[in-house]
Amino acid sequence: MSRSLLRSLLPIISLMVVLGATFYVQPRTMSYFGLNLMLQYAVPIALATIAQMFVITVNDLDLSIGPFVGLVGCISATLLYTNPLFGTLVLLLCIAAYAAVGALIHSRNLPSIVVTLGLSFVWVGIAVLILPSPGGKAPDWLKSIMGLQTPLVPLPIIAAIVIGLLVQLALMHSSLGVIARGAGGNPRAMERAGWSMLKTKSIMYALAGFFGLLSGLSLLGLTTSADAHVADRYTLYSIAGVILGGGEFIGGRVSPLGAVIGALTLALAGSFLIFLKISPDWQIGAQGAILILVLALKAPLTTRDVSQ
Amino acid sequence: MINLWNRLRREPWIWSFLAAIGVWLATVAYTGGQGAGEILTAALSFATFSIIVGLGQMMVITTGPGNVDLSIPASITLSGVVAMKVMDTDSARLLLGIGAALGVSFLVGVFNYGLIRLLRIPPIIATLSSSFLVLSTAISYGRGIRIKPPIPLDTFATTRLFGIPLAAMLVAVLSVILAIVIKRTVYGRAVLAIGQNPRAAWLAGINVNQTRFMTYVLSALLAGVCGILLSGFSGGAALNMGEDFLLASIAVVVIGGTSVAGGRASVPGIWGAALFMYLLVTMLNIFGASAGVRLIMTGTIIIAVIVLASGEARPK
């Protein structure tokens, strides 16, 4: 088997290993109900990971996606609940803000890490103004979508496959996708070839905002009430998910299906650790160890490079 | 005068100081001149901790794109916990505690670089994963007990001389040393060269791996120093004591004018940026802004400063 094929199969192998280990430790999870329960929180994480992936495609990094998911939850549990039309408008405005940030980062040649760092404060601030303490109510339609009992295969698995395939098609097989990945590979060459990088970056940021919005909505559908800080961890999860899925920070090398698989692996690892009954002190450390282990597998498959 | 301004405006760090002075003047104008010195002293006390970790983060970021140390908060916590537990409120064990805390910080740095080098994990993910392990170690070792710092450490961390905290003086000395190291030593030059072009630096005979190794260790050690001082300052170690420093360490580096693309470092900028961040929070507090407004203003101003500071239109 060639190295590159093995590399592209690595995310799915990692997922299978973690899944197998979970089944071994707790055989009762090998059921419709068990899988549903274990994987339901993987849906918002996968959506946030896809959002992060769009930003990584154009060589940027979004440190504000977690707080943004939290903000969407706060808006949806208050404004969208009491006044659906106004709530929708505010949510659309959030996506527009994302696109504007992308345009600003591109046109002034700013470091995305710092701009999104500042942005994360803004998102939390707005969320705290809207919802000073945890609470609010999820719209009923949202709860019923997330609680849907699909026949045979649990909803989270269907959702993950649909999201992965749709984005895979859109990013890997459309002209916009090719331009966007080219923008990550060599922006100057794409610019010279006549493509507007400003437009490309704005669209990629808008897409990140859109998937961040979906992530926030699906998370609210599960938790049924909102909290400004509920998704703070998602920033790090989403970055780790993209990398676990075979993506790279530079060069426009990303894989939407891989990103979804990476997010599922992360979510499963959390459940696995709970089943292992290790001391709560070491839960978070074990998560770090799993992350290192999975990434270590990649090392022998990567070619040596001093300038990495 | 105009000449001086023309020279100064080209310095990357000048914007952070202008921003800090502007915020301070706005605050003082609001209070009618009351507490002007007191505000500066307080800002200096709190900024000290961001400056220490900012210096380490600056060196890491300077080694080139993609290099960043996300394990700083966990290292601060582990160092604080180890220091307090080894010292066990006994002044005689002060040096032993400092040694132990710096020792574990050193190991964290070695571990970080080991992941990056041997397993070829991107630094962001490597330091993130190791921070989980480090934090777990701190939780498990600390067991949630809050031990008071020995009196000499407490005194050192909280004493002020002519309104200037002793800890800030120590950090000023550290900063001057680091600035000299960057400008005048082989190691400092190597860091800049690697940040500008790792391949060229390697071809020029610079030991890229050794330089990066030293940089990650330096960052972990400075986080360790911060952990010890912070436990002395706040009456013991706490498991969340490092939390605020993840964003703060990156923000002070970039607002201070250090290039995110690597290869350009600015020590004075770290001071300007750290003072600016704390004066900003103080100003918003004095203005009576609510938590939400405070956060929105902080975020907006960080973005505004970075737009002004690195504001060059994209070359056509």
SS3 annotation, chain A: CCHHHHHHHHHHHHHHHHHHHHHHHCHHHCCHHHHHHHHCCHHHHHHHHHHHHHHHHCCCCCCCHHHHHHHHHHHHHHHHHHCHHHHHHHHHHHHHHHHHHHHHHHHCCCCHHHHHHHHHHHHHHHHHHHCCCCECCCCHHHHHHHCCCCCCCCHHHHHHHHHHHHHHHHHHCCHHHHHHHHHHHCHHHHHHCCCCHHHHHHHHHHHHHHHHHHHHHHHHHHHCCECCCCCCCHHHHHHHHHHHCCCCCCCCCCCHHHHHHHHHHHHHHHHHHHHHCCCHHHHHHHHHHHHHHHHHHHHHHCCCCCCC
Closest CA to B243 of B258, B226, B257: B226
Asked if residue B58 lies in contact with residue B51, where contact means CB atoms within 8 angstroms, the answer is: no
Residues forming beta bridges with residue B161, ordered by sequence position? B164
* pLDDT at residue B151 is higher than 70: yes
Show the DSSP H helices in chain B as ranges: 2-8, 14-31, 36-62, 72-87, 94-118, 123-142, 151-158, 166-184, 186-196, 198-203, 208-233, 245-255, 267-286, 291-309
From the list B119, B124, B137, which residue is nearest A299 (CB)? B119
From the list A128, A243, A291, which residue is nearest B295 (CB)? A128
| CATH number for position B65 | 1.10.3470
Record: contact B310-A111, CB cut-off 8 A: yes
Question: What is the model's pLDDT at position A135?
Answer: 87
> Is A281 in the B-facing interface, judged by CB distances under 8 Å?
yes
Q: For the CA atoms of B28, B30, B34, B39, what is the dihedral angle to 10 degrees?
A: -50
Two tokens, residue A306: 């001093």
Q: For the CA atoms of A301, A304, A305, A308, what is the dihedral angle to 10 degrees?
A: 40
Distance from CA of B214 to the nearest CA of A (A): 17
Distance from CA of A109 to the nearest CA of B (A): 6
**Helices A175-185 and A155-172: angle between axes, nearest 10 degrees:** 80
Chain A residues whose beta carbon lies within 8 Å of the beta carbon of residue B247: 117, 120
Please name the residues in contact with A93: beta carbons below 8 A apart, sequence gap of 6 or more. none
> With bands split at pLDDT 50, 70 and 90, how would you rate the model's confidence at B119?
confident
Q: pLDDT tens across B155-208, in order?
A: 888 888 887 888 999 999 999 999 999 999 999 999 999 999 888 999 988 899
Chain A residues whose beta carbon lies within 8 Å of the beta carbon of residue B297: 125
Chain A residues whose beta carbon lies within 8 Å of the beta carbon of residue B242: none
Q: pLDDT tens across A139-156, in order?
A: 888 888 888 888 888 888
- Top pLDDT among B33 and A242 is at A242
Please name the residues in contact with A254: beta carbons below 8 A apart, sequence gap of 6 or more. A53, A56, A57, A171, A181, A184, A242, A247, A248
- Kindly tell me the burial class for residue B174, based on how many C-beta atoms sit within 10 Å of its own C-beta (0-12, 13-18, 19 or more): middle
The series of mean pLDDT values per 10 residues for chain A, 308 residues long, is 76 89 87 86 94 92 93 93 92 95 90 87 94 88 86 87 90 86 85 87 94 95 89 87 84 87 89 82 83 78 50
> Is A4 in the B-facing interface, judged by CB distances under 8 Å?
no
From the list B118, B124, B292, which residue is nearest A129 (CB)? B292
> With bands split at pLDDT 50, 70 and 90, how would you rate the model's confidence at B314?
very low
DSSP character for B35?
T
Angle at A243 between CA A242 and CA A247, to 5 degrees: 80
> Is A86 in the B-facing interface, judged by CB distances under 8 Å?
no
Asked if residue A285 lies in contact with residue B133, where contact means CB atoms within 8 angstroms, the answer is: yes
Candidates B295, B302, B307: best to mutate against A (most CBs of A within 10 A) is B295
Record: contact B298-A121, CB cut-off 8 A: yes
Chain A residues whose beta carbon lies within 8 Å of the beta carbon of residue B68: 113
Two tokens, residue A28: 């009762």
* B20-36 per-residue burial string, b: 16 or more CB within 10 A, e: under 16: beebbeebbeeeeeeee
Asked if residue A69 lies in contact with residue A49, where contact means CB atoms within 8 angstroms, the answer is: no
Q: Chains A and B: how many Cβ contacts under 8 Å?
A: 163
Q: pLDDT tens across A43-78, in order?
A: 999 999 999 999 999 988 898 999 999 999 999 999
> Is A110 in the B-facing interface, judged by CB distances under 8 Å?
yes
CA atoms within 13 A on the CB side of B109: 26
Please name the residues in contact with B296: beta carbons below 8 A apart, sequence gap of 6 or more. A121, A122, A125, A126, A129
Record: contact A108-B314, CB cut-off 8 A: yes
Give pTM, 2 decimals: 0.85
The average pLDDT across B16-22 equals 88
Q: Is residue B264 in a domain?
A: yes
> Is A251 in the B-facing interface, judged by CB distances under 8 Å?
no
Q: What is the mean pLDDT of chain B?
A: 87
> With bands split at pLDDT 50, 70 and 90, how would you rate the model's confidence at B52?
very high
Question: What is the model's pLDDT at position B313?
Answer: 46
Record: contact B296-A281, CB cut-off 8 A: no
Chain B residues whose beta carbon lies within 8 Å of the beta carbon of residue A108: 307, 310-314
Record: contact A129-B314, CB cut-off 8 A: no
Q: What's the domain count of chain B?
A: 1
Class of the A3-300 domain? mainly alpha
Record: contact B125-A124, CB cut-off 8 A: no
Asked if residue A41 lies in contact with residue A146, where contact means CB atoms within 8 angstroms, the answer is: no
Q: Range of B48's domain?
A: 14-23+36-309
Asked if residue A75 lies in contact with residue A87, where contact means CB atoms within 8 angstroms, the answer is: yes
Shortest CA distance from A197: residue in chain B: B314
Q: pLDDT tens across B123-149, in order?
A: 888 998 899 899 989 988 887 667 888
